[in-house]
Structure 1
Amino acid sequence: MPIDVMMPFYGDVAQFRQAVTSVLDQRDGDLRLVVVDDCYPDPEPREWLASLTDPRVHYRRNETNLGVNGNFRRCVELVEADHFVVMGCDDVMLPDYLATVRRLAAAHPDAAVIAPGVEVIDDHDRIVTPLGDRIKTFLTPKADSAKPAILTGEALATSLYHGNWTYFPSLLWRTAAVRDVGFRPGLEIVLDLALLVDLAADGGSLVHDPTVVFRYRRHDASVSSVQAVDGRRFAEENAFFADEARRCAARGWPRAARAARLHATSRLNHAQTRAVAAVGRLRSTKPAP
């Protein structure tokens, strides 16, 4: 059965073309690609998709701009397959992505989420390792292709509260599990983390195989980067983690509650961002020699 690749679109057209091409070039071509256009003003992406004449490609345009959370929710509504991906319109699937996640889903049919290995690229397709991604690597559960890591319940939630080591656009989701839970309304930065921990609370499991089959693009224009500068990211994160600590305590998950209260990587990222901003202010006010 095809895997649905849902691609919410609003962004760089050249990177969008690269993302679409990487999907259509999969060695496992049993897929349906659905581009969900969130009212992008330029008709070029729609016209280019039509020129592909590939029956696997489907285009949907929202009647109004739904924003990040709304468009992700719209993507889930449009899913028809048993498993789906919500891929970023600037990311890249390596040729064996679909074959790898399909194999893992078949081996773990009850898993709510499949998390393959990911490498990070910049705007120029260069592989990079920023501090935040080095921390993600440190926090990622140890596993190999012969023995993937399987996390569920409090152990899964605790791992993710310490630091969300997953890359949302690379994740394969089991449709029935996600529809039982859904994205929480009102979140833009931590909506993927919220979904993951809600699945954990619902008894869902995550399977991680470190085989690298996906490239996640990290750049300054991302929603999280822009909101980190003006503080909205951290306001959302802090409110989320405080609420999660209360939820976990009520659920009888003390380790998860403690991890949510600490959310150490969020605090580190906040401190790093404030330090960079402070340096920038010093440089802008320093008199010329």
Structure 2
Amino acid sequence: MAAHNNGHPRVSIGIPVYMGENFLETAIRSVLAQTYQDWTLVISDNASTDSTEAIARRYCAQDDRIHYHRNATNLGAGANYNKCVEISDGEFFKWLAHDDWISPNYIEKCVAALDANPDASVAFGKPKEMLDEDTPYAKSTFTAPEWGDAGPVERFAMAMRMPRTCHAVFGLYRRSVLDRTRLHCPYYTSDRNLVAETALLGRFVTVPEATFYNRKHENQSMAQSANRIFLNTWEDSGNSKRHSTQHLSRLGHFLEICGRYPDVASRSELFLSSAGFFFSPKKFFRYLDETCEYSAPGAYGEARRLMVRAYRTFKKSDRYIKT
């Protein structure tokens, strides 16, 4: 297949990885198996100390469309995701986590969908959660968002309310859309706001013939979702705070997005579309919780430990992977 007329492949795929020797090869092989061949793959390594670099360089030697970049230090997950975009140059861009993989027709079908829908910002395949390459995750309940012909403000509001599993961020994006955003911001769950931002800028197209395989395992970030301090530094390695402002950060990011696109929708339209979500009683409790932790971390930490201990006394612990 001929290269795009700007001299670069039409599709750039970015694999952000840290200590990924366990699953990286599966992700790379799924890219090599694509029926659509006009792509380049960038592997951005967050200063891994396992065999991630050796694996990546071995595949670079086998195919000159694969490129390896190594950060001098661990930038955190968010910045490494952004680095993949920064060092790529395709008309379309897709993130692929090192522990996931895609069906051989994924890129072909998603490119065709974007070509057929010039007003779409992203095309994504059917998500399928897996325990390994052969075993579906029996407890999976995720389905792709179906927003039909909803307008920009309605899409934005629905995307902001999407469940915590944010598979849509792994679709195939128009690079021109991503370039208008701040990409991933330095707080956990910023991908949800990014998805909402791209939904504001264009329609989402579901491609049911293509499949995105999401691996469920005990070492992935979502398995640590209750560990707020871990998530602070996982998303942003420069964040040494002993407290979390995840929900306050997401609120601030939402307010910023509301005023960023006057050519698409007014600040008031976007604010009102999601005010019920961001200012619900549950959210207010989260904001108060984070403010107290920030203001008096010592006293707060002791009180929270007592509350958690009491809670665990009455609630049986649950595993992240439910079999």
TM-score range, shorter chain: 0.7 to 0.9
Q: Where does residue 87 of structure 1 map in the other structure?
A: 96
TM-score by length of 2: 0.70
The residue type paired with residue 157 of structure 2 is T
Q: Where does residue 195 of structure 1 map in the other structure?
A: 194
Shift of 1:33: 0.8
Q: Please, which moves more after superposition, 243-252 or 104-113? A: 243-252
Q: Distance in 1 between matches of 2:146 and 2:74?
A: 37
Deviations 1:199-235, CA, capped at 9 Å, x for gaps: 344x333222333411011222112321324477695
Q: Where does residue 205 of structure 1 map in the other structure?
A: 203
Shift of 1:283: 5.9
2:18 alignment partner, one of 10, 28, 53: 10
1:151 and 1:207 in contact (8 A); partners too: no
Q: Distance in 2 between matches of 1:233 and 1:63?
A: 21
Superposed counterparts of 1:52-131, under 5 Å: 52=59, 53-123=62-132, 125-130=134-139
The residue type paired with residue 219 of structure 1 is H
TM-score by length of 1: 0.77
1:241 and 1:263 in contact (8 A); partners too: no
2:189 and 2:250 in contact (8 A); partners too: no
1:227 alignment partner, one of 220, 225, 228: 225
Q: Distance in 1 between matches of 2:169 and 2:103?
A: 13
Superposed counterparts of 1:1-289, under 5 Å: 1=4, 2=9, 3-42=11-50, 44-52=51-59, 53-123=62-132, 125-130=134-139, 133-134=140-141, 136-137=142-143, 140-141=145-146, 149-164=148-163, 166-168=166-168, 170-187=170-187, 189-201=188-200, 203-230=201-228, 236-240=245-249, 242-243=251-252, 250-253=267-270, 254-262=272-280, 278=311
Q: Distance in 2 between matches of 1:92 and 1:104?
A: 20
Please give the root-mean-square deviation of Cα atoms over the aligned residues, in Å.
Answer: 3.3
Q: Distance in 2 between matches of 1:208 and 1:126?
A: 24
Q: Where does residue 271 of structure 1 map in the other structure?
A: none
Q: Please, which moves more after superposition, 64-73 or 204-213? A: 204-213
2:160 and 2:193 in contact (8 A); partners too: no
The residue type paired with residue 108 of structure 1 is N
Is the partner of 1:33 in helix, strand or coil?
strand
The structure where helix makes up a greater share of residues is 1
Q: Which blocks of at least 5 consecutive residues in structure 1 are unaligned?
A: 143-148, 268-273, 285-289
Shift of 1:69: 1.1
Deviations 1:233-289, CA, capped at 9 Å, x for gaps: 695553255446766595224333223445989x9xxxxxx99x95587669xxxxx
1:112 and 1:206 in contact (8 A); partners too: yes
Deviations 1:136-190, CA, capped at 9 Å, x for gaps: 42x8327xxxxxx455421112212222464145311111111121225322x22
Q: Where does residue 288 of structure 2 map in the other structure?
A: none
Q: Distance in 2 between matches of 1:36 and 1:200?
A: 26
1:115 and 1:166 in contact (8 A); partners too: no
1:158 and 1:260 in contact (8 A); partners too: no
Is the partner of 1:60 in helix, strand or coil?
strand
1:111 and 1:207 in contact (8 A); partners too: yes
Q: Distance in 2 between matches of 1:283 and 1:153?
A: 43
Q: Distance in 2 between matches of 1:185 and 1:279?
A: 33
| Greater RCO, 1 or 2 (C-alpha within 8 Å, sep 6+) | 1
Q: CA 1:4/1:279 → structure 2, altered by over 3 Å: closer, same or farther? A: same
Q: Which blocks of at least 5 consecutive residues in structure 2 are unaligned?
A: 233-243, 259-265, 286-306, 318-323
The residue type paired with residue 42 of structure 2 is V
Identity in percent = 21
Deviations 1:105-160, CA, capped at 9 Å, x for gaps: 11112322222211001256421143xx51x42x8327xxxxxx455421112212
Deviations 1:83-115, CA, capped at 9 Å, x for gaps: 011110010111111111111111112322222
1:114 and 1:172 in contact (8 A); partners too: yes
